[in-house]
Amino acid sequence: MAEFDLQDFLPYLLNQAAETTSREFAAYYRDRYGLLRTDWRVLFHLGRYGGMNAAAIAARAMIHKTKISRSVAKLTAKGFVAAAGDADDRRRVGLSLTARGRAAFDDLAERARGYDAALLRGLPPGEARALKAVLRRLAGPSGADGGRSDP
Amino acid sequence: MAEFDLQDFLPYLLNQAAETTSREFAAYYRDRYGLLRTDWRVLFHLGRYGGMNAAAIAARAMIHKTKISRSVAKLTAKGFVAAAGDADDRRRVGLSLTARGRAAFDDLAERARGYDAALLRGLPPGEARALKAVLRRLAGPSGADGGRSDP
DNA sequence: TATTGTTATACTCTATAACTATA
DNA sequence: TATAGTTATAGAGTATAACAATA
Protein backbone atom coordinates (compact mmCIF):
# COMPACT_ATOMS: atom_id res chain seq x y z
CA MET A 1 0.00 0.00 0.00
CA ALA A 2 1.88 3.03 -1.24
CA GLU A 3 -0.04 6.16 -0.28
CA PHE A 4 -3.25 5.82 1.63
CA ASP A 5 -6.17 7.12 -0.39
CA LEU A 6 -9.80 7.67 0.46
CA GLN A 7 -10.47 4.90 -2.05
CA ASP A 8 -8.52 2.59 0.24
CA PHE A 9 -10.49 3.45 3.36
CA LEU A 10 -13.01 0.73 4.00
CA PRO A 11 -15.74 2.86 5.63
CA TYR A 12 -15.65 5.21 2.65
CA LEU A 13 -15.77 2.39 0.13
CA LEU A 14 -18.63 0.72 1.97
CA ASN A 15 -20.56 3.97 2.13
CA GLN A 16 -20.12 4.63 -1.58
CA ALA A 17 -21.01 1.08 -2.52
CA ALA A 18 -24.06 1.17 -0.27
CA GLU A 19 -25.23 4.46 -1.77
CA THR A 20 -24.75 3.37 -5.35
CA THR A 21 -26.32 -0.04 -4.95
CA SER A 22 -29.28 1.26 -2.96
CA ARG A 23 -30.24 4.06 -5.29
CA GLU A 24 -32.09 2.21 -8.01
CA PHE A 25 -33.95 -0.16 -5.74
CA ALA A 26 -34.92 2.64 -3.37
CA ALA A 27 -36.29 4.60 -6.32
CA TYR A 28 -38.46 1.63 -7.16
CA TYR A 29 -40.16 1.19 -3.80
CA ARG A 30 -40.47 4.93 -3.46
CA ASP A 31 -42.05 5.53 -6.85
CA ARG A 32 -44.17 2.39 -6.92
CA TYR A 33 -45.34 2.25 -3.30
CA GLY A 34 -44.41 5.55 -1.71
CA LEU A 35 -42.11 3.86 0.80
CA LEU A 36 -38.94 5.00 2.51
CA ARG A 37 -36.07 2.78 3.53
CA THR A 38 -37.37 1.91 6.98
CA ASP A 39 -40.84 1.24 5.58
CA TRP A 40 -39.44 -1.25 3.12
CA ARG A 41 -37.45 -3.00 5.82
CA VAL A 42 -40.43 -3.26 8.15
CA LEU A 43 -42.64 -4.51 5.34
CA PHE A 44 -40.01 -7.05 4.42
CA HIS A 45 -39.74 -8.40 7.94
CA LEU A 46 -43.47 -8.81 8.33
CA GLY A 47 -43.70 -10.51 4.95
CA ARG A 48 -40.72 -12.74 5.43
CA TYR A 49 -41.25 -13.82 9.03
CA GLY A 50 -44.96 -13.41 9.55
CA GLY A 51 -46.82 -11.39 12.13
CA MET A 52 -44.91 -9.98 15.08
CA ASN A 53 -44.91 -6.96 17.32
CA ALA A 54 -42.73 -3.87 17.06
CA ALA A 55 -40.14 -5.10 19.54
CA ALA A 56 -39.61 -8.27 17.53
CA ILE A 57 -39.06 -6.29 14.35
CA ALA A 58 -36.65 -4.05 16.21
CA ALA A 59 -34.63 -7.01 17.42
CA ARG A 60 -34.52 -8.77 14.07
CA ALA A 61 -33.97 -5.79 11.80
CA MET A 62 -31.77 -3.63 13.99
CA ILE A 63 -34.19 -0.74 13.62
CA HIS A 64 -34.93 1.50 16.58
CA LYS A 65 -38.44 1.28 17.98
CA THR A 66 -39.19 4.92 17.27
CA LYS A 67 -38.54 4.42 13.57
CA ILE A 68 -40.65 1.28 13.56
CA SER A 69 -43.47 3.13 15.23
CA ARG A 70 -43.54 5.75 12.50
CA SER A 71 -43.20 3.23 9.69
CA VAL A 72 -45.98 1.08 11.06
CA ALA A 73 -48.26 4.10 11.27
CA LYS A 74 -47.51 4.89 7.66
CA LEU A 75 -47.85 1.32 6.43
CA THR A 76 -51.13 1.02 8.30
CA ALA A 77 -52.42 4.25 6.77
CA LYS A 78 -51.51 2.88 3.35
CA GLY A 79 -53.40 -0.31 4.02
CA PHE A 80 -50.32 -2.52 3.93
CA VAL A 81 -50.30 -3.49 7.58
CA ALA A 82 -53.03 -4.40 10.05
CA ALA A 83 -52.68 -4.14 13.81
CA ALA A 84 -54.35 -6.47 16.29
CA GLY A 85 -54.50 -6.12 20.05
CA ASP A 86 -52.78 -8.71 22.20
CA ALA A 87 -55.15 -10.08 24.82
CA ASP A 88 -52.34 -11.23 27.12
CA ASP A 89 -50.45 -7.95 27.19
CA ARG A 90 -52.39 -4.98 26.00
CA ARG A 91 -49.27 -2.87 25.53
CA ARG A 92 -48.31 -5.10 22.63
CA VAL A 93 -49.66 -4.77 19.11
CA GLY A 94 -49.59 -7.73 16.76
CA LEU A 95 -48.65 -6.57 13.28
CA SER A 96 -49.26 -8.41 10.04
CA LEU A 97 -49.58 -7.73 6.34
CA THR A 98 -52.89 -7.17 4.63
CA ALA A 99 -53.52 -8.66 1.20
CA ARG A 100 -52.29 -5.42 -0.31
CA GLY A 101 -49.21 -5.46 1.89
CA ARG A 102 -48.58 -9.05 0.89
CA ALA A 103 -48.79 -8.16 -2.78
CA ALA A 104 -46.29 -5.33 -2.30
CA PHE A 105 -44.00 -7.62 -0.34
CA ASP A 106 -44.16 -10.35 -2.98
CA ASP A 107 -43.26 -7.87 -5.68
CA LEU A 108 -40.48 -6.20 -3.71
CA ALA A 109 -38.95 -9.41 -2.41
CA GLU A 110 -38.79 -10.87 -5.90
CA ARG A 111 -37.27 -7.69 -7.26
CA ALA A 112 -34.79 -7.52 -4.40
CA ARG A 113 -33.63 -11.01 -5.20
CA GLY A 114 -33.21 -10.19 -8.87
CA TYR A 115 -31.53 -6.90 -8.10
CA ASP A 116 -29.12 -8.61 -5.77
CA ALA A 117 -28.28 -11.19 -8.42
CA ALA A 118 -27.70 -8.46 -10.99
CA LEU A 119 -25.33 -6.62 -8.66
CA LEU A 120 -23.29 -9.76 -8.16
CA ARG A 121 -23.32 -10.79 -11.79
CA GLY A 122 -19.76 -11.44 -12.83
CA LEU A 123 -18.65 -12.67 -9.43
CA PRO A 124 -18.20 -16.41 -9.04
CA PRO A 125 -20.80 -17.78 -6.58
CA GLY A 126 -18.10 -18.60 -4.07
CA GLU A 127 -16.78 -15.07 -4.08
CA ALA A 128 -20.26 -13.63 -3.73
CA ARG A 129 -20.85 -15.78 -0.67
CA ALA A 130 -17.49 -14.80 0.76
CA LEU A 131 -18.23 -11.13 0.17
CA LYS A 132 -21.52 -11.34 2.04
CA ALA A 133 -19.89 -13.25 4.86
CA VAL A 134 -17.28 -10.54 5.29
CA LEU A 135 -19.92 -7.84 5.14
CA ARG A 136 -21.97 -9.60 7.81
CA ARG A 137 -18.93 -9.71 10.03
CA LEU A 138 -18.20 -6.03 9.45
CA ALA A 139 -21.85 -5.14 10.05
CA GLY A 140 -21.73 -6.98 13.36
CA PRO A 141 -21.79 -5.15 16.68
CA SER A 142 -18.23 -3.90 16.55
CA GLY A 143 -16.13 -1.37 14.75
CA ALA A 144 -12.38 -1.75 14.53
CA ASP A 145 -12.40 -3.12 18.05
CA GLY A 146 -14.97 -3.08 20.86
CA GLY A 147 -18.67 -3.58 20.93
CA ARG A 148 -21.42 -1.08 20.59
CA SER A 149 -24.89 -1.07 22.03
CA ASP A 150 -28.08 0.01 20.36
CA PRO A 151 -28.46 3.57 21.65
CA MET B 1 -29.96 -19.78 -1.36
CA ALA B 2 -33.01 -21.14 0.39
CA GLU B 3 -35.20 -18.22 1.48
CA PHE B 4 -34.13 -14.71 0.63
CA ASP B 5 -33.44 -12.72 3.75
CA LEU B 6 -32.64 -9.07 4.32
CA GLN B 7 -29.24 -10.34 5.46
CA ASP B 8 -28.74 -11.66 1.94
CA PHE B 9 -29.58 -8.38 0.23
CA LEU B 10 -26.38 -6.68 -0.77
CA PRO B 11 -27.53 -3.04 -0.44
CA TYR B 12 -28.71 -3.76 3.10
CA LEU B 13 -25.49 -5.53 4.04
CA LEU B 14 -23.40 -2.73 2.60
CA ASN B 15 -25.41 -0.11 4.43
CA GLN B 16 -25.10 -1.91 7.74
CA ALA B 17 -21.41 -2.53 7.28
CA ALA B 18 -20.86 1.10 6.29
CA GLU B 19 -22.76 2.35 9.33
CA THR B 20 -20.98 0.09 11.77
CA THR B 21 -17.51 0.68 10.42
CA SER B 22 -17.97 4.44 10.15
CA ARG B 23 -19.29 5.02 13.62
CA GLU B 24 -16.15 4.92 15.69
CA PHE B 25 -13.99 6.86 13.28
CA ALA B 26 -16.67 9.50 12.76
CA ALA B 27 -16.92 9.92 16.51
CA TYR B 28 -13.21 10.59 16.61
CA TYR B 29 -13.10 13.40 14.04
CA ARG B 30 -16.31 14.84 15.46
CA ASP B 31 -15.16 14.89 19.07
CA ARG B 32 -11.55 15.81 18.41
CA TYR B 33 -11.97 18.36 15.61
CA GLY B 34 -15.68 19.13 15.39
CA LEU B 35 -15.91 17.79 11.86
CA LEU B 36 -18.70 16.12 9.96
CA ARG B 37 -18.28 13.49 7.28
CA THR B 38 -17.98 15.87 4.35
CA ASP B 39 -15.56 18.06 6.28
CA TRP B 40 -13.28 15.12 6.88
CA ARG B 41 -13.41 14.10 3.24
CA VAL B 42 -12.61 17.60 2.02
CA LEU B 43 -9.78 17.93 4.52
CA PHE B 44 -8.45 14.59 3.44
CA HIS B 45 -8.42 15.52 -0.23
CA LEU B 46 -6.61 18.77 0.36
CA GLY B 47 -4.08 17.04 2.56
CA ARG B 48 -3.57 14.08 0.31
CA TYR B 49 -3.45 15.80 -3.06
CA GLY B 50 -2.39 19.31 -2.25
CA GLY B 51 -4.10 22.58 -3.03
CA MET B 52 -6.96 22.62 -5.50
CA ASN B 53 -10.21 24.41 -6.09
CA ALA B 54 -13.69 23.28 -5.16
CA ALA B 55 -14.47 21.81 -8.57
CA ALA B 56 -11.39 19.60 -8.40
CA ILE B 57 -12.40 18.29 -4.99
CA ALA B 58 -15.89 17.66 -6.30
CA ALA B 59 -14.55 15.64 -9.22
CA ARG B 60 -12.12 13.59 -7.15
CA ALA B 61 -14.22 12.95 -4.10
CA MET B 62 -17.66 12.60 -5.65
CA ILE B 63 -19.01 15.32 -3.39
CA HIS B 64 -21.48 17.85 -4.70
CA LYS B 65 -20.22 21.42 -4.96
CA THR B 66 -22.82 22.75 -2.51
CA LYS B 67 -21.57 20.42 0.20
CA ILE B 68 -17.99 21.37 -0.54
CA SER B 69 -18.86 25.03 -0.32
CA ARG B 70 -20.27 24.63 3.16
CA SER B 71 -17.44 22.41 4.34
CA VAL B 72 -14.83 24.82 3.06
CA ALA B 73 -16.53 27.70 4.87
CA LYS B 74 -16.47 25.68 8.07
CA LEU B 75 -12.90 24.46 7.65
CA THR B 76 -11.81 28.02 6.92
CA ALA B 77 -13.59 29.34 10.00
CA LYS B 78 -11.81 26.69 12.05
CA GLY B 79 -8.48 27.73 10.62
CA PHE B 80 -7.85 24.46 8.84
CA VAL B 81 -8.09 25.78 5.30
CA ALA B 82 -6.87 28.93 3.60
CA ALA B 83 -8.33 30.35 0.41
CA ALA B 84 -6.36 32.22 -2.23
CA GLY B 85 -7.69 34.08 -5.24
CA ASP B 86 -6.86 32.83 -8.71
CA ALA B 87 -5.45 35.65 -10.83
CA ASP B 88 -6.33 33.95 -14.12
CA ASP B 89 -9.96 33.26 -13.30
CA ARG B 90 -11.33 35.19 -10.40
CA ARG B 91 -14.29 32.88 -10.00
CA ARG B 92 -11.94 30.18 -8.82
CA VAL B 93 -10.62 29.87 -5.29
CA GLY B 94 -7.44 27.99 -4.57
CA LEU B 95 -7.78 25.98 -1.38
CA SER B 96 -5.02 24.60 0.78
CA LEU B 97 -4.39 23.45 4.31
CA THR B 98 -2.98 25.70 7.00
CA ALA B 99 -0.45 24.33 9.47
CA ARG B 100 -3.32 23.51 11.78
CA GLY B 101 -5.21 21.82 8.99
CA ARG B 102 -2.10 19.87 8.11
CA ALA B 103 -1.72 18.69 11.69
CA ALA B 104 -5.34 17.54 11.76
CA PHE B 105 -4.91 15.79 8.42
CA ASP B 106 -1.75 14.03 9.55
CA ASP B 107 -3.47 12.78 12.65
CA LEU B 108 -6.64 11.70 10.87
CA ALA B 109 -4.90 10.08 7.93
CA GLU B 110 -2.72 8.02 10.23
CA ARG B 111 -5.69 7.00 12.30
CA ALA B 112 -7.70 6.16 9.21
CA ARG B 113 -4.96 3.86 8.06
CA GLY B 114 -4.77 2.14 11.40
CA TYR B 115 -8.53 1.91 11.68
CA ASP B 116 -8.75 0.38 8.24
CA ALA B 117 -6.11 -2.18 9.14
CA ALA B 118 -7.95 -3.05 12.32
CA LEU B 119 -11.20 -3.58 10.44
CA LEU B 120 -9.51 -5.96 8.07
CA ARG B 121 -7.53 -7.81 10.72
CA GLY B 122 -8.16 -11.48 10.28
CA LEU B 123 -8.56 -11.30 6.52
CA PRO B 124 -5.64 -12.53 4.45
CA PRO B 125 -4.11 -9.60 2.53
CA GLY B 126 -5.25 -11.03 -0.78
CA GLU B 127 -8.84 -11.23 0.39
CA ALA B 128 -8.72 -7.70 1.72
CA ARG B 129 -7.52 -6.45 -1.64
CA ALA B 130 -10.19 -8.46 -3.43
CA LEU B 131 -12.86 -7.07 -1.11
CA LYS B 132 -11.85 -3.50 -1.84
CA ALA B 133 -11.73 -4.18 -5.55
CA VAL B 134 -15.28 -5.51 -5.50
CA LEU B 135 -16.44 -2.57 -3.44
CA ARG B 136 -14.86 -0.14 -5.86
CA ARG B 137 -16.67 -1.81 -8.70
CA LEU B 138 -19.98 -1.69 -6.83
CA ALA B 139 -19.38 1.93 -5.90
CA GLY B 140 -18.85 2.77 -9.54
CA PRO B 141 -21.36 4.76 -11.54
CA SER B 142 -23.90 2.00 -11.94
CA GLY B 143 -26.40 0.10 -9.89
CA ALA B 144 -27.60 -3.29 -10.98
CA ASP B 145 -27.44 -2.07 -14.55
CA GLY B 146 -27.30 1.40 -16.09
CA GLY B 147 -25.29 4.46 -15.26
CA ARG B 148 -26.17 7.36 -13.05
CA SER B 149 -25.11 10.96 -13.21
CA ASP B 150 -24.18 13.24 -10.38
CA PRO B 151 -27.35 15.24 -9.85
C1' DT C 1 -40.70 0.02 38.94
C1' DA C 2 -40.13 -1.78 34.32
C1' DT C 3 -41.64 -2.39 29.59
C1' DT C 4 -44.27 -1.40 24.97
C1' DG C 5 -44.99 1.77 21.99
C1' DT C 6 -45.66 6.95 20.88
C1' DT C 7 -44.43 11.78 20.36
C1' DA C 8 -41.22 15.57 20.18
C1' DT C 9 -36.92 17.34 18.93
C1' DA C 10 -32.51 17.85 16.97
C1' DC C 11 -28.78 16.75 14.13
C1' DT C 12 -26.71 14.71 9.99
C1' DC C 13 -26.81 13.64 5.18
C1' DT C 14 -28.42 14.27 0.56
C1' DA C 15 -30.65 16.66 -3.31
C1' DT C 16 -32.14 20.65 -6.06
C1' DA C 17 -33.16 25.24 -7.47
C1' DA C 18 -31.89 29.79 -7.65
C1' DC C 19 -28.65 33.12 -7.16
C1' DT C 20 -23.73 36.06 -7.66
C1' DA C 21 -19.83 37.11 -9.97
C1' DT C 22 -17.17 36.28 -13.25
C1' DA C 23 -15.90 34.54 -17.92
C1' DT D 1 -24.42 31.96 -22.56
C1' DA D 2 -21.75 29.22 -19.64
C1' DT D 3 -19.06 28.26 -15.45
C1' DA D 4 -17.29 28.54 -10.23
C1' DG D 5 -19.00 28.91 -6.20
C1' DT D 6 -22.84 30.38 -2.75
C1' DT D 7 -27.26 30.39 -0.44
C1' DA D 8 -31.80 28.60 0.57
C1' DT D 9 -34.84 24.88 1.21
C1' DA D 10 -36.62 20.41 1.59
C1' DG D 11 -36.53 15.64 2.24
C1' DA D 12 -34.53 11.54 4.18
C1' DG D 13 -31.94 9.18 7.81
C1' DT D 14 -30.51 8.80 12.58
C1' DA D 15 -30.36 9.51 17.63
C1' DT D 16 -32.42 10.69 22.34
C1' DA D 17 -35.38 12.13 25.79
C1' DA D 18 -39.73 12.15 27.64
C1' DC D 19 -44.20 10.47 27.80
C1' DA D 20 -48.81 7.40 28.28
C1' DA D 21 -50.55 3.05 28.99
C1' DT D 22 -49.95 -1.24 30.84
C1' DA D 23 -47.62 -4.73 33.32
Using the C1' atom of nucleotide C15, identify the protein residue whose alpha carbon is closest: B151
In this prediction the pTM is: 0.93
Mean pLDDT is lowest, of A30-34, A71-75, A142-146, for A142-146
User: pLDDT (tens digit, 9 = 90+) per residue, B14-27?
Assistant: 999 999 999 999 99
Determine the distance between B122 (CA) and C8 (C1') in angstroms.
44
A100-CA/D22-C1' distance, Å: 32
Which of A3, A4, A14 should we substitute to test contact with B (largest number of B Cβ atoms within 10 Å)? Answer: A14
Residue A52 banded pLDDT, cuts 50, 70, 90: very high
3-state secondary structure chain B: CCCCCHHHCHHHHHHHHHHHHHHHHHHHHHHHHCCCHHHHHHHHHHHHHCCECHHHHHHHHCCCHHHHHHHHHHHHHCCCEEEEECCCCCCCEEEEECHHHHHHHHHHHHHHHHHHHHHHCCCCHHHHHHHHHHHHHHHCCECCCCECCCC
> Which residues in range 91-130 of chain A are in contact with strand C, contact meaning CB within 7 A of any of its atoms?
91-93
DSSP letter assigned to residue A52? B
Q: How far is the CA of B38 from the C1' of C21 (A)?
A: 26
Flag residues 67-96 of B with CB < 7 Å from strand D.
68-70, 72-73, 89, 91-93
pLDDT of residue B143: 52
Examine the pLDDT at A143 and tell me if it is beyond 70.
Answer: no
Region A104-125: mean pLDDT is 96
Share of chain A above pLDDT 70, in %: 91
CA angle A59, A140, A35 (to 5 degrees): 55
Cβ distance B20 to A143 less than 8 Å, yes or no, reads yes
Instruction: Label residue A147 by pLDDT band (50, 70, 90).
Output: very low
What's chain A's average pLDDT? 92
B24–A127 CB contact, under 8 Å: no
Whether the pLDDT of residue B5 is over 60: the answer is yes
Say whether pLDDT at B108 is over 50: yes
Residue-wise pLDDT tens digits, B33-78? 999 999 999 999 999 999 999 999 999 999 999 999 999 999 999 9
pLDDT (0 to 100) of residue A140: 85
Chain center to CA of A138: 16
Residues of B in contact with A139 (CB under 8 A): 13, 16-17, 19-20
The mean pLDDT value for A9-26 works out to 97
Question: Quick check: A133 and A115 in contact, CB under 8 A?
Answer: no
The rounded Cα B107 to chain-centroid distance in angstroms is: 15
pLDDT reported for residue A144: 62
pLDDT of residue B147: 38
Examine the pLDDT at B150 and tell me if it is beyond 80: no
Q: Tell me the shortest Cα–Cα distance from A20 to chain B, in angstroms.
A: 6
Q: How far apart are CA A48 and CA A104, in angstroms?
A: 12
Listed as ranges, the nucleotides of chain C within 7 A of a protein C-beta are 3-8, 12-18, 21-23
B63 chain-A contacts, CB cut-off 8 A = none
pLDDT recorded at residue B119: 97
For residue A91, the 8-state DSSP code is: T
Q: Is the pLDDT confidence value at A149 over 60?
A: no
What's the mean per-residue pLDDT of chain B? Answer: 92
| CA distance to partner chain A, nearest, from residue B114 (Å) | 9
